[in-house]
Chain A
């Protein structure tokens, strides 16, 4: 399988990368901030995808992890004068540690309760930020004169351009690592655990360790994204990381398609741009509620029309249109992880939020 994968050169991704590299030279600086925020959020959504789509666990607290990574990084840079490139990994590492802790707690509490544990973290995190004022700056948070991700003088790049390119590289690297993770041995363990914990255990997969690993890696990825987010915007304020943000990330993962890596970009684009789009359609003044309504309706429509996410279903459609007989296009096909088959198995994507209902439920739908 691996040789086959390597042969299937991901031309699409390469093209996306090329477009990405061109973007900062085409788009104006003031629009780049939103695009860069989108890339950072995409990292968090990709982390969630690993958790939801590949290991079958849930987190309603990734907004808090995203914020923790951001705070860790910006505190190191703003308060202790660290260079940004050394602060970002620390942001990721802090979240890795918290991810391990939450993962262990979650396993002790039973998988069904991971949702509650993570939403508790999401609810408590901003309150703690306000309480720990000497470290976090309290209500006002931490802010800097400009982004510490500064371009080297020789590059001739502006700060927003450099910030975008750095985040693009980080996202590309993240997606590459995640993809390799789920296509490798560990990926098969993930798939086994997701499909049936019993079966996985019977086949010698250490279920708890696999779940824990997925949660920790997912948290670290979210934290790294959060670190970039805070450093690019040059602020970290509690109001950015309230419970609704965590919920939004979860929705973004599902809508984009939690089993596809391209879905993380689409999900992030929805987080950043859908409110703006809605605002443009219904107008800004006295129309904030309409934006939220549009957002909600969009979410419902996506769920009903494209239950495996926008990218998940589009790819299925595309696949159907292309037809399996046209094998020559296979060289350009994008591998999106094992178990990403046609349609019937989509019902497998069921993280544990409920009691053990196992497959009876899915079977009933047919």
Chain B
């Protein structure tokens, strides 16, 4: 006998639907809006961020705490021309669809002036924000984020990873005459950019191995590199794999000249997991400070960073470079806001692009932020070598926009 469901089932389903609907805002709300962050010089400056606070790239979410601490510190010191920054972070779990949805709510519901996004998925999220003329600041090293012509409202804060590749290529060409170059990285766009950079310096690796994230055991890849006689290895592999990789290479006494990609050369990502003895003599073109680098223990900007973090985001991990990067990104946003004529998307962007020799707590010594045609602010690198205890600068600061690499 077939029995039928009571209509109460549907009542329950409809109640569930009603709950969902109740979580949404009414249509009228969007038309009214609030006069926040508009050019009339009143109200808070609305900044929103979508970060992976869960999911595969949760470690990058630490950036959000850094940004929050910096904005809170600015607010506590009186804000920007007396206007407070209204900053909130929402999780996107590194799902592009969630990022697009978050961005739409930031733009339409919150009337955000500036939206901060993280990572390669932001590339796909550019069109709606550009159509809405809302500033999208991306914390990502993808080359595509320099496309200011087609996406005039998108700016990348961190440098294009291809520049680092070209710097490495030039170094290899100049200093290692019998180099047999190998490359090891993820199967993503960053690896492509980096290889393009190496190619621009006429370096073609004999082995370019790209591994999907999540694969932790790289013994087979190391065997392949070693058998091919690779004596210069360019690595852009991130944690957790890079530590295990270097440690294993140390154990089997395979010691090529290693370039570690700047995003991952820090103590938390590489040195501690790998063991300092396995990182000795590694090279890295760095552009930001590692908060755990003992060579920087007296750094004033880092001391301020630690103080701000302790006060405004005590739960955050200050030893993570992601935390510091978020802090530095917020500082760059505030720099542009302070020099903007008014608080609007266009005024902000023009201020961002014309920043010149601006100090930033994130950057290595003597480096500053300067806007260029590519929309990015960071163009200065310095070759560092790991001496067994800390990363030590080995050369002068190079500006890629002046060295014929960027732009």
A residues with CB within 8 A of B: 1, 4, 8, 11-13, 15-16, 19-20, 23, 25-35, 37-38, 127, 130-131, 138-146, 229, 233-235, 237, 239-240, 242, 244-245, 260, 262, 265-266, 269, 273, 275-277, 279, 284-289, 291-292, 311, 314-315, 318-319, 321-322, 324, 329-330, 332-336, 338, 340-342
Contacts and interface: CB of A to CB of B under 8 A. Distances in A.
21 contacts: A15-B14, A28-B25, A28-B30, A127-B212, A140-B144, A140-B189, A141-B96, A143-B127, A240-B96, A276-B23, A284-B89, A285-B313, A288-B61, A315-B6, A315-B9, A318-B12, A321-B8, A324-B3, A333-B5, A333-B7, A334-B5
A318 B20 CA distance: 22
B74 interface: no
Contact of A288 (B58, B127, B144): B58
A12 B54 contact: no
Interface string B90-132: 1101111100110011011100000000001101111110010
B124 A235 contact: yes
A131 B210 CA distance: 11
A145 B127 contact: yes
A292 B14 contact: no
A318 B316 contact: no
B7 A35 contact: no
A31 B30 CA distance: 10
Given A33-B104, A237-B96, A324-B3, A291 B10 contact: no
Contacts of A332: 6-7
B88 A12 contact: no
A285 B6 contact: no
Given A27-B21, A37-B97, A138 B12 contact: no
A168 B316 CA distance: 43
Contacts of A242: 56
Given A28-B24, A28-B29, A269-B20, A275 B13 contact: no
B88 A1 contact: no
Interface string B49-73: 0001111101001001100100000
Contacts of B127: 143-146, 234
B124 A341 contact: no
B27 interface: yes
Contacts of A244: 55
Interface in B1-42: 1-14, 16-17, 20-21, 23-27, 29-30
B188 interface: yes
Contact of B93 (A27, A28, A260, A288): A288
B187 interface: yes
A342 B6 CA distance: 12
Contact of B58 (A289, A324, A341): A289
Contact of B13 (A146, A262, A289): A262
Contacts of B144: 140
A8 B4 contact: yes
Contacts of A322: 6, 8
B315 interface: yes
B121 A26 contact: no
A284 B53 contact: yes
A12 B6 CA distance: 9
Nearest to A137: B124
B20 A12 contact: no
A288 B189 contact: no
CB-based closest 8 A-B pairs = A12-B10, A333-B4, A288-B54, A288-B53, A31-B24, A318-B8, A332-B7, A143-B124
B342 to A, nearest CB: 25
Given A28-B30, A28-B108, A29-B108, A284 B6 contact: no
Contact of A262 (B10, B96, B97, B192): B10
B131 A27 contact: no
Contacts of A269: 16-17, 20
Nearest to B25: A28
Contacts of A245: 95
Contacts of A28: 24-27, 29-30, 108-109
B96 to A, nearest CB: 4
Contacts of B126: 143
Interface string B265-278: 00000000000000
A102 B4 CA distance: 35
A139 B189 contact: yes
Contact of B108 (A30, A142, A240, A311): A30
A311 B61 CA distance: 35
A234 B16 CA distance: 27
A237 B124 contact: yes
Contacts of A311: 9, 12-13
B94 A239 contact: yes
B331 to A, nearest CB: 18
Given A315-B8, A333-B7, A334-B4, A25 B27 contact: yes
B23 to A, nearest CB: 7
Contacts of A127: 187, 212
B251 to A, nearest CB: 29
A27 B26 contact: yes
A332 B8 CA distance: 9
A334 B7 contact: yes
Given A140-B124, A286-B53, A292-B54, A15 B10 contact: yes
Contacts of A23: 21
A209 B109 CA distance: 51
Given A284-B89, A335-B2, A338-B2, 11 more contacts: A11-B10, A13-B10, A16-B13, A29-B108, A139-B120, A233-B101, A235-B96, A237-B96, A284-B90, A311-B12, A329-B6
A286 B10 contact: no
B5 A318 contact: yes
Contacts of A273: 20, 23
Contacts of A285: 53, 64-65, 68, 89, 313
A76 B341 CA distance: 45
A334 B13 CA distance: 12
Q: Among the interface residues A19, A244, A262, which one has the most CB atoms of the partner chain B within 10 A?
A: A262
B189 A19 contact: no
Nearest to A33: B101
Contacts of B55: 244, 288
B188 A130 contact: yes
A13 B4 CA distance: 14
A146 B65 contact: no
Interface string B178-195: 000000000111001000
